[in-house]
């Protein structure tokens, strides 16, 4: 199974013409993030048969030079968002490495599918592309990973992500849940939740190579 086959299966069962027509108009008349060529970057960097971890976000960042197709990840020249800073703070406390880069492309190449539930957004308008069809598509992606892959770790931060647990076969996958890393909630259970070491412990239990969450550019404690 590969992403092309997954996409074909999804589009054979769901009609996304209205969504694509809407997006064509939005991209031609508005400023929309991410750039059109980066909408599916999460799938380009993480092949289906290499998915080990799924981190579910919501819609992309709506500021300039931020979104580039990976949940929580930011372009190198973009403004560093507070949620990502808190993710890195927990990473340092959990595993002992200090990341400074704003992008998460190395995580994606390690097998971490960084999946937003909505893949596009209008500039400066959070949630502006919700309910146009993306949620149907990404729900099907989650179900496909659950069905065709084994021993994947699903990391669900915040209530919207946790609602996706119903799509996951928890008898053969791990689910790690906590509040969202946003400054509004991080101190209510995200800090100290140790998602990175928990994910790696699960992967190693089933003979999988753990994720190198630190990356080559990180300082390791």
Span 71-81, pLDDT tens digits: 999 998 888 99
Which residues are identified as catalytic? Answer: 59
Give the residues across from 176 on adjacent strands: 155
Whole-number Å distance between alpha carbons of 118 and 33:
11
Q: What is the pLDDT of residues 20-56, one digit of tens each?
A: 999 999 999 999 999 999 999 999 999 999 999 999 9
Pick from 3-17, 165-179, 207-221: least confident: 207-221
- Cβ neighbours of residue 6 under 8 Å, at least 6 residues apart? 48, 140, 141, 144, 148
**Average pLDDT of the segment spanning 132-143:** 98
Query: What sign has the CA pseudo-torsion 138, 82, 105, 123?
Result: positive
Whole-number Å distance between alpha carbons of 162 and 157:
7
Q: What is the pLDDT of residue 77?
A: 87
């Amino acid at each position: 199974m590969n992403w092309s086959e997954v996409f074909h299966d999804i589009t054979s069962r769901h009609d996304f013409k209205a969504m694509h027509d809407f997006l064509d108009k939005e991209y031609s008349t508005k400023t929309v993030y991410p750039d059109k060529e980066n909408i599916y970057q999460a799938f380009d960097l993480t092949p289906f048969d290499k998915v080990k971890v799924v981190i579910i976000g919501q819609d992309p960042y709506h500021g300039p030079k931020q979104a580039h197709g990976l949940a929580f990840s930011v372009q190198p020249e973009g403004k560093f968002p507070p949620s990502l800073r808190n993710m890195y703070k927990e990473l340092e406390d959990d595993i002992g490495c200090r990341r400074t880069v704003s992008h998460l492309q190395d995580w994606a190449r390690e097998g971490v599918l960084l999946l937003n539930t909505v893949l596009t957004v209008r500039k400066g308008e959070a949630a502006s592309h919700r309910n146009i069809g993306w949620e149907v598509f990404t729900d099907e992606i989650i179900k496909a990973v659950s069905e065709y892959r084994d021993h994947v770790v699903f990391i669900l931060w915040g209530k919207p992500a946790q609602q996706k647990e119903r799509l996951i076969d928890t008898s053969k996958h791990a689910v790690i849940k906590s509040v969202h890393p946003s400054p509004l909630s991080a101190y209510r259970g995200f800090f100290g939740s140790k998602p990175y070491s928990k994910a790696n412990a699960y992967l190693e239990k089933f003979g999988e190579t753990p994720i190198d969450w630190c990356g080559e550019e990180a300082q390791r404690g």
